[in-house]
Amino acid sequence: MAKVYIVGAGPGDVELITVKGLRAIKEADVILYDRLINPDLLDEASADAEFVYCGKSPDNHSLTQTSINGLLCKFALQGKTVTRLKGGDPFVFGRGGEEAEELARRNIPYEIVPGITSGIAAPAYAGIPVTHRNYSSSVSFITGVSNLGVDQEEYWEHVAKSMDTLCIYMGVKKLPQISERLIRHGRDPLTPIALVHWGTTGDQLTVTGTLADIVEKAKNVKNPSMIVVGEVVKLRDSLQWFEQLKAEAEIPAQQVVG
pLDDT along the chain (258 residues), means of 10: 94 97 98 96 98 80 90 97 98 96 98 98 98 97 80 88 95 96 96 98 96 98 97 97 86 57
Our answer to whether residue 56 is catalytic in this structure is: yes
Residue 175: Cβ within 10 Å count:
20
- From the list 29, 89, 163, 170, the catalytic residue is 170
Our answer to whether residue 59 is catalytic in this structure is: no
Q: 84 and 7 in contact (C-beta within 8 Å)?
A: yes
Q: What are phi and psi of 181, to 5 degrees?
A: -70, -40
* pLDDT number for residue 187: 96
- From the list 13, 29, 34, 89, the catalytic residue is 34
* pLDDT number for residue 249: 78
Bridge partners of residue 60, in order along the sequence: 57
* pLDDT number for residue 258: 47
**CB neighbour list of residue 229: distance below 8 Å, 6 or more residues apart:** 165, 166, 168, 182, 187, 191, 192, 193, 211
Q: What angle do CA 16, 22, 126 make, to 5 degrees?
A: 10
For 132, the 3-state DSSP assignment is strand
